[in-house]
């Protein structure tokens, strides 16, 4: 696994069944010599292959509670989707208190950062629309940002240019805690409790910032049993006092956990909320082809249901959605230490937009790329078009692309291999006949010696 990714393959568990190659949104996986391989420059850490592998050969590489040992004062950042993993009688405050018991010195709600991002986004979108720039696309989901960089580089300029709620909350926590404790930044460890591996990738390979304010990213699923145990043991006094003390966000930020939450918070009429990576691709294709004229803002989440459907969550996304709605309805609309008082406002926008990722281009040189594309079309025309995946590529076009790149041969296609074998067999048969015609004459040659 690359240092820059958080999804890894266990070769011993992989049986080369090809299930994953068809679901990967960037065609990053090939099966070669009976085992899956991930092309690192194409992986966007969406986690689809973790979800679909029937043999559990793909997994996320995440940080653990052991990583807290490296810093003197540790902060947990709770993703908005964390609450929905726990049913009644757990309250948001109780979940935060139980999380704090795992060795953290402070707990922050990322929903608070989401409210800060919402306030900045609302102002930015308003101005952009006045200038005729639309649709704006949310940059909160790191998978969607990476997808745009690779498959839709022309849409990078449509991204809302603010850091994610995770980074905004981490910046806020660092500043407040350094002031409060007097500790230097390097002694403060900030850990995001995450529903997806892409957040860890966004920490080790940040989007539009030089370095992340987060030290580590721990999976919700890894902490779930301990938080649950803490909730079961929690006495009523702690539940009430500690829980109340830790709440900082209102319903606006808590709602970000599910699809539509971010867009609703912006109070916009002409928005579109799409979830599921393949649905997101369909919508982005419409934007790219200028077929989407009546939408000002697109909230796009790689996971079905939004972050509550992340690959590192525990609860079924439908019950998680019902629980989160209950948390939303119980929360005040405005944050307790919300956007109006946040020291971060207005958020600084990105200094530079994320760069396009050329991993899917056939060649950096446009003329070469066009020639290779023509070559690719000819190869595709000669392939059976069954998209069977038996060659180890997701479809015939992907195999043709691999051939053009010099990474595969036409005979990797079993139909082409059969054709080739038949052709060789025909030549062999002709040769055999030729030899038979020649052999009797040689037997009759009187000068032959045994
Ligand atoms: S789904 Fe992919 S990783 Fe899992 S066993 Fe099949 S080929 Fe291997
Ligand atoms: S994490 Fe997503 S992009 Fe990366 S290999 Fe798996 S399916 Fe493909």
Nearby residues of 218 by Cβ (< 8 Å), 6 or more positions away = 62, 63, 64, 65, 67, 191, 192, 193, 194
Strand, helix or coil at 406? coil
The residues pairing with 386 across neighbouring beta strands, listed in sequence order, are: none
22: how many CB neighbours lie within 10 A of its CB? Answer: 16
- At 208, give phi and psi (nearest 5°): 55, 25
pLDDT score of 440: 60
Closest atom of ligand 2 to CA, residue 45 = 1
Query: Residue 443 — pLDDT band, cuts 50, 70, 90?
Result: low
Q: Which structural domains are found in the chain, ordered by start?
A: 7-60 (3.30.70.20), 68-330 (no CATH), 365-445 (1.10.15.40)
CA 56 to ligand 1 center in whole angstroms:
8
| Pairwise CA distance, residues 96 & 133, whole Å | 40
Query: Residue 1 — pLDDT band, cuts 50, 70, 90?
Result: very low
Output the ligand 2 site: residues, CB below 6 A. Answer: 7, 24-26, 28-29, 38, 43-49
CA 158 to chain centre: 19
pLDDT score of 33: 93
pLDDT surpasses 60 at 152: yes
Which tokens is 270 given? 């002409």
Using an 8 Å Cβ cutoff, are 180 and 156 in contact? no
Which tokens is 162 given? 């603010």
Closest atom of ligand 2 to CA, residue 42 = 3
| Pairwise CA distance, residues 417 & 267, whole Å | 58
The residues pairing with 191 across neighbouring beta strands, listed in sequence order, are: 76, 216
Closest atom of ligand 1 to CA, residue 29 = 2
CA 27 to ligand 1 center in whole angstroms:
14
388: how many CB neighbours lie within 10 A of its CB? Answer: 14
Closest ligand to C-alpha of residue 38 is: 2
User: Hey, whose CA ends up nearest to atom 6 of ligand 1?
Assistant: 17
CA 21 to chain centre: 16
Please give the helix or strand (H or E) that residue 217 lies within, else none: strand 216-219
- Cβ of 15 closer than 6 Å to ligand 1, yes or no, is yes
The stretch 218-245 carries a mean pLDDT of 90
Closest atom of ligand 2 to CA, residue 29 = 5
Using an 8 Å Cβ cutoff, are 274 and 283 in contact? yes
pLDDT score of 401: 96
pLDDT surpasses 90 at 202: yes
Strand, helix or coil at 159? strand
The stretch 433-438 carries a mean pLDDT of 82
Residue ranges in 337-365 assigned as alpha helix (H): none
| Pairwise CA distance, residues 246 & 446, whole Å | 107
**pLDDT averaged over every residue in the chain:** 92
pLDDT surpasses 60 at 37: yes
Query: Residue 362 — pLDDT band, cuts 50, 70, 90?
Result: very high
Query: Residue 342 — pLDDT band, cuts 50, 70, 90?
Result: low
61: how many CB neighbours lie within 10 A of its CB? Answer: 13
User: Hey, whose CA ends up nearest to atom 6 of ligand 2?
Assistant: 49
The stretch 195-211 carries a mean pLDDT of 95
Indicate left, alpha or beta for 6 from its phi (over 0: left) and psi (-120 to 50: alpha).
alpha
More confident call, 351 vs 79: 79
User: Hey, whose CA ends up nearest to atom 4 of ligand 2?
Assistant: 43
Ligand 1, residues 30, 55, 392: which to mutate, most atoms within 8 A of Cβ?
55
Closest atom of ligand 1 to CA, residue 31 = 7
Reported in sequence order, the residue ranges of 46-113 that DSSP labels E, i.e. its strands, are 58-60, 73-78, 106-109
Cα–Cα distance list, 166 to 115, 214, 437 (Å): 11, 8, 81
pLDDT surpasses 50 at 338: no
Indicate left, alpha or beta for 212 from its phi (over 0: left) and psi (-120 to 50: alpha).
beta
Query: Residue 237 — pLDDT band, cuts 50, 70, 90?
Result: confident
More confident call, 184 vs 238: 184
Using an 8 Å Cβ cutoff, are 107 and 246 in contact? yes
Strand, helix or coil at 352? coil
pLDDT score of 445: 53
Write the pLDDT tens digit of every residue in 245-283. Answer: 888 999 999 999 999 999 999 988 899 999 999 999 999
End-to-end CA distance of the chain: 65
Write the pLDDT tens digit of every residue in 279-327. Answer: 999 999 999 999 998 999 999 999 999 999 999 999 999 999 999 999 9
pLDDT score of 200: 97
Query: Residue 438 — pLDDT band, cuts 50, 70, 90?
Result: confident
Strand, helix or coil at 298? strand
Q: Which residue in this structure is represented by tokens 């049993």? A: 225
- Percent of the chain exceeding pLDDT 70 equals 94
- Cβ of 376 closer than 6 Å to ligand 1, yes or no, is no
């Amino acid at each position: 696994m690359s240092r820059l990714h958080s999804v890894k393959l266990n070769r011993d568990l992989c049986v080369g069944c090809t299930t994953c190659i068809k679901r990967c949104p960037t065609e990053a996986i090939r099966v070669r010599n009976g085992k899956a391989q991930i092309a690192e420059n194409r992986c966007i850490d969406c986690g689809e292959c973790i979800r679909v592998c029937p043999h559990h050969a793909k997994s996320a590489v995440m940080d653990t509670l052991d990583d807290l040992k490296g810093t003197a004062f540790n902060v947990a950042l709770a993703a908005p989707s964390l609450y929905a993993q726990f049913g009644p009688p757990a309250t948001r405050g109780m979940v935060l208190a139980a999380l704090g018991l795992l060795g953290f010195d402070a707990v922050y709600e990322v929903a608070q950062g989401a409210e800060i991002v919402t306030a900045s986004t609302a102002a930015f979108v308003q101005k952009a629309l006045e200038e005729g720039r639309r649709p704006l696309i949310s940059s909160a989901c790191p998978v969607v940002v990476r997808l745009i960089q690779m498959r839709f580089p022309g849409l990078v300029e449509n991204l809302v240019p603010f850091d994610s709620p995770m980074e905004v909350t981490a910046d806020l926590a660092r500043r407040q805690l350094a002031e409060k404790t007097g500790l230097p930044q390097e002694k403060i460890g900030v850990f995001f409790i995450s529903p997806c591996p892409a957040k860890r990738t966004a920490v080790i390979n940040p989007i539009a910032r030089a370095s992340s304010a987060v030290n580590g990213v721990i999976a919700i699923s890894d902490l779930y049993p301990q938080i649950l145990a803490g909730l079961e043991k929690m006495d009523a006094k702690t539940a009430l006092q500690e829980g109340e003390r830790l709440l900082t966000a209102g319903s606006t930020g808590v709602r970000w956990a599910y699809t539509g939450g971010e867009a609703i918070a912006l109070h916009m009429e002409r928005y579109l909320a799409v979830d599921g990576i393949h649905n997101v691709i369909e919508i982005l294709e419409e934007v790219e082809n200028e077929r989407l004229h009546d939408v000002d803002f697109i909230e796009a989440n790689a996971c079905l249901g939004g972050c509550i459907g992340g690959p590192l969550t525990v609860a079924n996304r439908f019950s998680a959605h019902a629980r989160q709605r209950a948390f939303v309805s119980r929360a005040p609309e405005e944050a307790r230490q919300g956007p109006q008082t946040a020291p971060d406002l207005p958020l600084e926008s990105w200094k530079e937009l994320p760069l396009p990722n050329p991993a899917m281009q056939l060649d950096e040189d446009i003329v070469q790329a066009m020639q290779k594309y023509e070559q690719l079309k000819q190869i595709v025309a000669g392939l059976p078009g069954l998209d069977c995946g038996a060659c180890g590529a997701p479809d015939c076009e992907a195999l043709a692309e691999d051939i053009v790149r010099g990474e595969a041969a036409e005979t990797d296609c079993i139909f082409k291999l059969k054709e080739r074998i038949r052709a060789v067999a025909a030549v062999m048969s002709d040769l055999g006949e030729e030899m038979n015609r020649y052999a009797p004459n040689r037997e009759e040659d009187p000068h032959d010696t045994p």
